[in-house]
Amino acid sequence: MMSLSFVIGTEPDKWLHRFDDRTQHGGIHSAASHDPVTQLLEGSVDIALVRLPDSRIDGSADLHVVRLYQESMGIALPKEHTLTLLDKLSDADLEGEICNYRIGEALELDIDELRSALQVVAANVGYAIAPRPLIKAMSGKLIEHRDFTSPTHVGQTSIALAWKKDRDAEDIQDFVGIAKGRKPNSSRQSGEKKLSAREKSLAKQQRREADRKAKGQRPKAGRKTKPRGRR
C-alpha cells in the first residue's frame, strides 16, 4: 500500500477516495504532518503533499515535483477585533496594528514562528498573515481569519506533490493524475479497476435503456406465438 504524508492546511480526502474507487493499487495510507518533506526525504513515505517554496525540494535532482495550486492568503485576528467585521482586508486596513507574523517575499513559511504568532493573536494582540487554509487549521476559538488582498507584499505559497525519482511507479502516477483532475476514463490511468462480465452486461443494458428513453422509444416486447388450431 502506498503511503502519503500531507502538509497541515491541505485536505486530500477526495483524491484518496477517488484513488481507492478507481484503481486496484490497494488504497493509500495517509497522515497529516507539519513537515512531510522530512518524512519523504527519510523514506518513511512514498509521496508527500508539500507547501512550496521549500529549499529542500526546489531544484532537487532526486525528486519529481508537480505543482497543483496556489494558496489563498489570509489574516488571523483576535475574535473580538473590529476588523473581523470586514470580509476582506488589505495593508491599508492594518495601519497601526501589530504584525506578529508575515511571510516575506520569496521566503519560506516558518510554521513554528506562525504557531507562536497565532498564540499572541489569541491573546488579543496584533495579527498574522499566512496561507488561509493553514491559519484555519491551526487557529483555535479565540481567532478569526479573513481573506488578505495585498498578495504583492507577501510571499506566495503553493501546494505540490513530491516523490523520489527512484520510487516512480504506476500507483504514484495514477494518484498524481487524480490530483490533477484526470477523468476516470483516461487512457493514462494504468491501475483502473476492471469490470466483471456481469457488470459489463448490466452497464450495456443501462446504456441501451438510456438510449431508448432519449429517443422516446418503448422497450421491445417479447415475441408472441399464435396458438395452433386443432386439425
| 83-139 residue pLDDT tens | 999 999 999 999 999 999 998 776 889 999 999 999 999 999 999 999 999 999 999
Q: Is residue 91 part of a domain?
A: yes
Using CA of residue 215, residue 217, residue 219, residue 224, what is the dihedral sign?
negative
Specify whether the CB–CB gap between 28 and 2 falls below 8 A.
yes
pLDDT value, residue 188: 52
Task: Tell me: pLDDT of 141 over 90.
Answer: yes
The domain in which residue 82 lies consists of: 73-153
Q: Is residue 164 part of a domain?
A: yes
- CATH number of domain containing 120: 3.40.190
Q: What is the mean pLDDT of residues 180-208?
A: 63
Q: What is the mean pLDDT of residues 172-195?
A: 74
Q: How far, in Å, CA of 119 to CA of 165, rounded?
A: 39
Query: In the predicted model, what is the mean pLDDT of the chain?
Result: 87
Do 131 and 93 share a structural domain?
A: yes
